Amino acid sequence: MFHVSLSAQQIPSGRVVKVADGDTFTLLVNGHEQVKVRLEGIDAPEKKQAFGIKAKEFLSSMIWNQGEVTISVSKKDRYGRSVAKVSTSSVEDVNLEMIKAGYAWHYTDYSNDELYSVAESKAREDRVGLWQDPDPIRPQDFRKKKTTPLL
């Protein structure tokens, strides 16, 4: 097996071989090429964060053993992952469904998708998923805390 990183505009299909967390997975393309994919426009809780495991499980339920998964790549991130919108035969926009279920924030630092903003507002209002927490911490803030050295 070897790793491949797709450029923007390529729209491959493949089978999910690993779900790392609530917004990252590995897609097997052409039977042997592995593509690391980061879901575009969302930020899911880290695995060691509240709702992190549930976010991973929810993403897995939509893309694991679901046959072909299609990604629409917009760019590569600084880690070489293909940043993409994801769909399956039964889910048109996996990224949006993560937000609707309350397992991801709309990542407004990198996305201005109005549907994602509306979905997050509704999930907050309905207190679903991570919005049940009285004080949810954005993953980017959690990551900063984790890497800040103690004085």
Active-site residue 38, yes or no? yes
Task: Find the catalytic residue in 40, 81, 97, 120.
Answer: 81
Backbone phi and psi for residue 80, each to the nearest 5 degrees, phi listed first: 85, 5
* Known active-site residue 78: no
Which one is catalytic: 33, 40, 46, 57?
Answer: 46
Q: How far apart are CA 45 and CA 139, in angstroms?
A: 5
| Of 38, 40, 97, 120, catalytic | 38
46 included as an active-site residue: yes
Residues recognised as catalytic:
38, 46, 81
